[in-house]
Amino acid sequence: MNGMFYSLKDIGVFILILLFLITFSVFFIINASWLYYVTIAFMGLAVKFHVSNGLLMENFHRMTNFIQNPFTSVLKLNQFPISSNGMVHFENVRTLTLVNNLVLLITFISLLIIMFRFNYFKKMWKLQSLSEVTMLMTGVLALFCVLDFQDVFIYFHEVLFKNQDWIFNPKKDPIINVLPDQYFLMCFALFFLLVIVGLIIVAIIGKRELKKESF
d(CA 117, CA 82): 48
Local confidence band at 201 (pLDDT 50, 70, 90 cut-offs):
very high
Residue 178 pLDDT > 50, yes or no?
Answer: yes
| Per-residue pLDDT band at 6 (split at 50, 70, 90) | confident
> Between the CA of residue 207 and those of 18, 116, 123, 126, 162, what are the distances in Å?
18, 18, 10, 9, 43
Which has more pLDDT, 122 or 11?
11
Say what the pLDDT of residue 214 is.
Answer: 62
The domain ranges of the chain are 8-214
The model's pTM is 0.92
Taking only the tens place, the pLDDT of each residue in 151-162 is 999 999 999 998
**pLDDT tens per residue across span 133-151:** 999 999 999 999 999 999 9
On whether the CB atoms of residues 132 and 198 are closer than 8 A, the answer is: no
Share of the chain above pLDDT 90, in %: 83
119 phi-psi bin (left φ>0, alpha ψ -120 to 50, beta other): left
**Tens digits of residue pLDDT in 79-111:** 999 999 999 999 999 999 999 999 999 999 999
- Give the pLDDT band of residue 193 (cuts 50, 70, 90): very high
Q: Residue 215 pLDDT > 70, yes or no? A: no
